[in-house]
Amino acid sequence: MKAKVDKVIILWTANTEMFLLPDINSIDDLESRIANNTPLPASVLYCVAAIQEQVIYLNGSPQNTFHPAIVEYAAKNGGLIAGSDFKSGQTRFKTVMSDFLIGSGIRIASCVSYNHLGNNDGKNLSEDKCFQSKKISKAGVLDDAMKANQILYPEEKGLNKIDHEVVIKYVPFVGDSKRAMDEYSSQIFMNGTNTISSYNVCEDSLLAVPLMYDMIILGELFSRMEIDGKKLGHVLSYLSFFFKAPITNHDEYVINSFSRQRDTLTNLLKVSAGILPDDTTLLSFKF
């Protein structure tokens, strides 16, 4: 197939795999397991094959595909990867809400998310081992907002946590029409409590498909881009905007904030087109 087209991109959209974190110690260990037919998650095997074939691999499902040894393998072999888990509906809204509340100086203390859906994804997630993979990918979306505000979430006092719970139930009758309910409870002045609740009904697949188009088009573009003669790295970090659990080339700058992810992506595209990036200082207007 590669001989008949200019470029191949693999977009992994399979159902969530069971929670499994294989104890792979190194690239040599990974290659040994593959050579000896040691069982590994299907997504890991496809990802390794994509890296070997120099094919872009975008992981749209919430499993443990990008084990550290896999990421290192991509770096060593010039592979291009991005992921994990499409961020389309409830989780994207959650990153917006955390931006809004914490950015307003309001301390979210509890965030509870409930979903029910009836498609094949919902049936698959009714299995506890599969659900654990999804729960982990959803759990980190509030971390970035907390780390950005040490006044509300002081680590030294052990107050750098939010009670964060995610529930997913399978209800066959509703089909692909997903019901998502969120409750954000915050601590406010004089030990008061402020609670915001939301209820969203959406066609889950219809929210995800436009993201697939965007990440394929942008992923292909980023695979060709160079800055000072250097590629953008083995992890296409600028695609983080589309994923619940983004990975980057440097662990210290994983960003989940909706506004920061969007600004980073749009400003890169502007610079690439020779347009000045957004300047929010307003200095050009002389105050």
- Which residues are marked as active site? 85, 134, 178, 244
Q: Letter for the amino acid at 217?
A: I
Q: What is the dihedral of CA 24, 28, 34, 40, to 10 degrees?
A: 10
Start-end of H helices in the chain: 27-35, 42-52, 68-77, 90-103, 120-125, 128-139, 143-147, 204-224, 258-272
Are the C-beta atoms of residues 19 and 132 closer than 8 Å to each other? yes
Say if residues 81 and 47 touch (Cβ distance below 8 Å).
Answer: yes
End-to-end CA distance of the chain: 57
- Which has the closest alpha carbon to 235: 14, 10, 70, 52? 70
